[in-house]
Structures are given as structure tokens and as C-alpha cells.
């Protein structure tokens, strides 16, 4: 197994990676956000990708989500730990809290959200979009590190790059959602199509715009919290990698068989060029 690590805002480097090598990857959907850092943490092979590129060059909408997930799959990743900054709709989830997200509400509108199409149609289930097995390992690591966290939470994915209006923030809070961010979709959906075990660890940086006793979120506020907690994020990645130990783990969530029965298009009409492109992420079911 290889652990893929997607670093969000504030997490652009992974100093703990040993035998490190930067590798340029070209996928059938273009280039990922940046070169991948391949190496190992303890006995676990890892691949680190800064989601927004080193130096934070790409907006959430500009990200090539398909290339990012495809690149991780191409270098042998089986599991993906996604680190993401987020706002909180809950007083009990203050800045600095790590949330193991288990549900998403997608309110993006300008992003391609599937590898499939162009003659081959597939429908995967996102009823349980996060990997319970990887969440178990991550929760154990958070407990061992003594980091404030919560297992489970709903993540509203907005388009951005602007932050929410107060009316939007109050609406999402009233709907019972927990956190808000800009990047978890279509990342989580594409990971499911690629049959990767995927878990978002959302680190709360602010109270978005709903809280009357706190100023509305701005970049300075986000960066202040991120800078304080980047060491915690890196320690978490190391602790997860050490617990995985380079061993292939069972997946009770069915992530690695997500494409079983998902392809609905009759094999006799599959376009050859589409099949060749999809083989990168879905070769197991296209043989």
C-alpha cells in the first residue's frame, strides 16, 4: 500500500518524508497541482501532493481534481488522507479542532466531478463517501497525539474563492451542517471512482460569518490558525503512516470495490480511447 497525502492551505511541505524524490506526473486529464513527493514515513510508502501547488498558486475552482486523484492512483496510492482548512458552524468546534468528515453537501457549480463520460457511464455510491477503516486509524492517531477532534461531521463544499455571506452562513448552520470549505468536492467523489480509501481531516480555522461575537473570516485569521497548527497536521500524518505500517489494510467501507456493478454502458459500445484513458483509474473493472 501507499498512503497519499493531499496538503491543503498551509501544508505545502512534508519534512518527515524519507528517501524523498520529486516526480512529475502526466495523467490522461493533464498535470496535477504540482510534482508529487514520493518517499516513505517509517515503513509506509507515501506520496505527498500540495493541493494548491507549492506557493499556493491555484484557486479551489482552478484545481485539476481529476489529475490530482489520477496521479495518486498512478503512483500506487491505495489510501488518501486529505488535510483541509475549514470554517465551523458549531461553537463546540472552535478553531484548532480537527474534524473527521464523514458526509459532504456539494454546492460547487464549475467543476468536472467524474472520470466517466465520453461513451462510458458509471454511477458509484456516495452514501458513505469517507472510508471508515482509514477514519479508525486517523482517530486513533488524533487520540494518541492529544489533539482536539471530533469523529464525524458534515462538510458543505462551496465554490469560492470568496468566503460566505452572513446569510449563507446562517442558512448552512440552520440546516445542521458542521463545517464549510472549498475543496473536498469533487475530490472525495473522484477518489471513490478511483477506488481509493479517502478521508478528509478538516482543521477548523474560523467560525465562518455566522457568529455574532467573532469577526467574519478573513485570510489573515485563517493563516494565523494554520501557522499555529501546521506542526500538528504534520504530526498527524506521521502518526497515521506509522499506524498503517506499509501494510495493506482491509476496507470495510467497500472503497476498493466501489466500481463493482457501477458501469452501466454496454461493453460492446465502449469507445476505445475512453477505455484507454479510464484504465488509469478503473482498469480493474475494464479488463
- Domains of the chain, with CATH numbers? 3-286 (3.40.50.1580)
Q: What is the pLDDT of residue 230?
A: 84
CB 170 within 8 Å of CB 199: no
Q: What is the pLDDT of residue 225?
A: 78
Query: Dihedral sign, CA of 91, 198, 226, 51?
Result: negative
Cell 497515521 sits at which residue? Answer: 240
DSSP state letter for 183: S
Cell 480511447 sits at which residue? Answer: 273
Q: What per-residue string of b and e applies to 134-167 under the rule 16 or more CB within 10 Å gives b?
A: bbbbbbebbeeeebebbeebbbbbbebeebbeee
Q: Which residues are annotated as a binding site?
A: 9, 51-52, 84-85, 182-183, 206-208
Q: What is the pLDDT of residue 213?
A: 79
Q: What is the pLDDT of residue 208?
A: 92
Strands 179-181 and 154-158: parallel
Mean predicted lDDT score pLDDT of the chain: 94
- Per-residue model confidence as pLDDT tens digits over 37-94: 999 999 999 999 999 999 999 999 999 999 999 999 999 999 999 999 999 999 999 9
Count of Cβ atoms closer than 10 Å to residue 241 Cβ:
26
Q: Which are the catalytic amino acids?
A: 206, 208
Percent of the chain with pLDDT over 90: 85
- Per-residue model confidence as pLDDT tens digits over 241-285: 999 987 777 788 899 999 999 999 999 999 999 999 999 999 999
Reported as a pLDDT band with limits 50, 70 and 90, residue 110 is: very high
Reported as a pLDDT band with limits 50, 70 and 90, residue 168 is: very high
Q: Which residue has the higher pLDDT, 12 or 157?
A: 157
Q: Which residues are annotated as a binding site for phosphate?
A: 9, 51-52, 84-85, 183
Average of per-residue pLDDT across 132-141: 96
- Per-residue model confidence as pLDDT tens digits over 214-252: 777 777 877 787 788 888 999 999 999 999 987 777 788
Whole-angstrom distance between the N-terminal and C-terminal Cα of the chain? 22
Q: What is the pLDDT of residue 93?
A: 97
CB 230 within 8 Å of CB 10: yes
Q: Which residues are annotated as a binding site for substrate?
A: 182, 206-208
- Per-residue model confidence as pLDDT tens digits over 111-121: 999 999 999 99
pLDDT at residue 10 is higher than 80:
no
Amino acid at each position: 500500500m501507499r498512503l497519499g497525502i493531499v496538503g491543503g492551505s498551509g501544508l505545502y511541505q512534508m519534512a518527515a518524508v524519507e528517501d524523498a524524490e520529486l516526480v512529475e506526473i502526466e495523467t490522461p486529464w493533464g498535470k496535477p497541482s504540482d510534482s508529487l513527493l514520493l518517499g516513505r514515513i517509517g515503513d509506509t510508502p507515501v506520496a505527498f501532493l500540495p493541493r494548491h501547488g507549492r506557493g499556493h498558486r491555484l484557486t479551489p475552482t482552478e484545481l485539476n481534481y481529476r489529475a490530482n486523484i489520477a496521479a495518486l492512483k498512478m503512483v500506487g496510492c491505495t489510501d488518501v488522507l486529505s488535510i483541509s482548512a475549514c470554517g465551523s458552524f458549531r461553537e463546540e468546534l472552535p478553531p484548532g479542532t480537527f474534524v473527521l468528515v464523514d458526509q459532504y453537501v456539494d454546492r460547487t457549480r464549475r467543476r468536472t466531478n467524474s472520470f466517466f463520460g465520453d461513451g462510458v457511464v458509471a454511477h458509484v455510491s456516495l452514501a458513505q463517501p469517507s472510508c471508515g477503516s482509514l477514519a479508525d486509524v486517523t482517530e486513533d492517531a488524533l487520540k494518541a497525539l492529544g489533539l482536539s477532534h471530533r469523529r464525524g461531521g458534515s462538510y458543505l463544499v462551496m465554490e469560492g474563492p470568496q468566503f460566505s455571506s452572513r446569510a449563507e452562513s446562517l442558512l448552512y448552520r440552520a440546516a445542521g451542517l458542521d463545517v464549510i470549505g472549498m475543496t473536498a468536492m469533487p475530490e472525495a467523489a473522484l477518489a471513490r471512482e478511483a477506488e481509493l480509501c479517502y478521508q478528509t481531516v478538516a482543521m477548523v480555522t474560523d467560525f465562518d460569518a455566522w457568529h455574532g461575537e467573532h469577526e467574519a473570516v478573513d485570510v489573515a485569521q485563517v493563516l494565523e490558525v494554520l501557522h499555529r497548527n501546521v506542526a500538528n497536521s504534520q504530526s498527524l500524518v506521521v502518526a497515521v503512516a506509522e499506524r498503517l505500517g506499509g501494510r495493506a489494510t482491509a476496507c470495510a467501507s467497500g472503497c476498493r470495490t466501489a466500481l463493482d456493478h457501477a458501469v452501466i454502458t454496454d461493453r460492446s459500445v465502449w469507445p476505445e480511447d475512453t477505455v484507454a484513458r479510464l484504465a488509469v483509474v478503473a482498469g480493474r473493472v475494464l479488463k
